[in-house]
Amino acid sequence: MSEIPIVCLQLHFAGSSNGSSRPHLLRGALASLFPDEPLLHQHGQSGLVYRYPLVHYRWREGNGILVGFHEGAHLLARLPLLDRPLQLGSVTTSISDVEMRFITQEVGVAERLLRYYFASPWLPFSQDNYEIYRSMSRNQQADERDRIAVGNLLTALRGLKVEFPGRLYATVQIHRAVPCKYKDQTFVGFLGTLLTNADIPDDMAIGRAVSHGYGWLRRVDSSV
């Protein structure tokens, strides 16, 4: 088992900042505030940094949620956020309060299969790959989703500096498909549950656009 430091910040804003989905706006606002912190926006001096993001952005009940892992956790713990002006799309606001939760969680092979649910849609496919997926039989589609879920989990674990010993097992049960916007394109996202032998932290995300709030996993028996 590997221990991972995790920091979760819940941001409260001055005035009303209601919105059903604003993680990308929050990401852009903090990137503008802290352009020299590549962990916040995945851009370095030479361009885009290709790695599993160590800071994720979420939105819940009018509050911004930041989740940091490893170096991302250490960055969030020291980031000066209070009373900083933010431009969330057309709304100008500021951060009036920050709630911080710090945990260290063990990650590795579970003694039994664990069930997680997608708190936000999972984006396993590009637009082109989704067309290929649509042409498959129902059984082939299920196998393809499971194959991609295993790959997504391994990618995320490697990004969190965890080497998974042995074979990682994962299967996805889809409850419904939903259209999702990402960088002015529409993707098909899936909501449902994931069964796996990987013991992973709540708030880890898999798939495409995880730093924008997609693919957010929580254990079924976890308190929200």
Is 182 found in the same domain as 156? yes
**Helix, coil or strand: residue 123:** coil
Domain finish residue from 63, 87, 104: 104
Domain contains 32:
yes
Domain contains 224:
no
Rounded Cα distance between 175 and 192, Å, is: 5
Dihedral over alpha carbons 37, 42, 44, 48 (to 10 degrees): -170
| Residue found by looking up tokens 């960055």 in the block | 75
| Cβ neighbours for 125, distance < 8 A, ≥ 6 positions apart | 133, 148, 187, 188, 208
Threshold 0.85, pTM exceeds? yes
Q: What percent of the chain has pLDDT over 90?
A: 70
34: its two tokens: 């802290």
Domain finish residue from 69, 104, 139: 104
For residue 223, what pLDDT is reported? 44
Is 210 found in the same domain as 116? yes
Range with the poorest average pLDDT among 44-48, 85-89, 171-175, 191-195: 44-48
User: Which residues span the domain enclosing 180?
Assistant: 109-219
For residue 51, what pLDDT is reported? 81
Is 136 found in the same domain as 47? no
Return the amino acid letter for 81.
Answer: L
Nearest to 204 by CA among 196, 135, 129: 196
